[in-house]
Amino acid sequence: MNYTVSYLAYFTPIILTALVVILIIALRWFTHKERMGLIAQGVNPEDKQRTRKDYKVILAAGLVLALGGLALTIGLITLGIGPFLLWGLLPLFLGLALILVSFVLAPPKPKKQKADEVEQKTDVATEEVIEEEIGETFEAEEEEEQEVI
């Protein structure tokens, strides 16, 4: 079998995509296991949640590292293609990995309640109050009727 470099161009995107999918699944699995372990110990998992600020720090570090690696790679590529490009490619891909980790692990943004949902909740609460008042009125009338009889 004679493999050439052209096959690498076909398989690299497939392999990278598969690795990203495996990474995401593994991170979700470990998060689930950690959460279930905390619940089993009687600890509220909501207390252990990190804030969005923690992940912004990881994102900032990843951006600095990736852009520094990109600049180094661009500077070294002027010398030609060779193994010395690893000095620029390694920080570039480490920075990209930190950026990916910050996006994958960051908690979702808090969702804003729509005005319709708020109105529906107030309508339901108002209906419950009205039903309670009507029920109390009927009970008072029944007691009056019983006293008259």
Domains of the chain, by residue range, sit at: 1-49, 51-110, 112-149
Encode pLDDT of 24-55 as tens digits.
899 889 889 988 988 888 888 776 666 667 77
Encode pLDDT of 58-113 as tens digits.
888 888 998 898 888 888 888 888 788 888 889 989 999 988 888 887 776 666 65
Residues 118, 119, 121: CA angle, nearest 5 degrees: 65
| Torsion angle (degrees, nearest 10) of CA 60, 107, 101, 56 | 10
Distance CA 149, CA 147 (A): 6
pTM of the model: 0.44
Better-predicted residue by pLDDT, 112 or 22: 22
Q: Which residue has the tokens 């470990």?
A: 30
Residue 11 has a pLDDT of 76
CB burial of residue 95 (10 Å; 0-12, 13-18, 19+) = buried
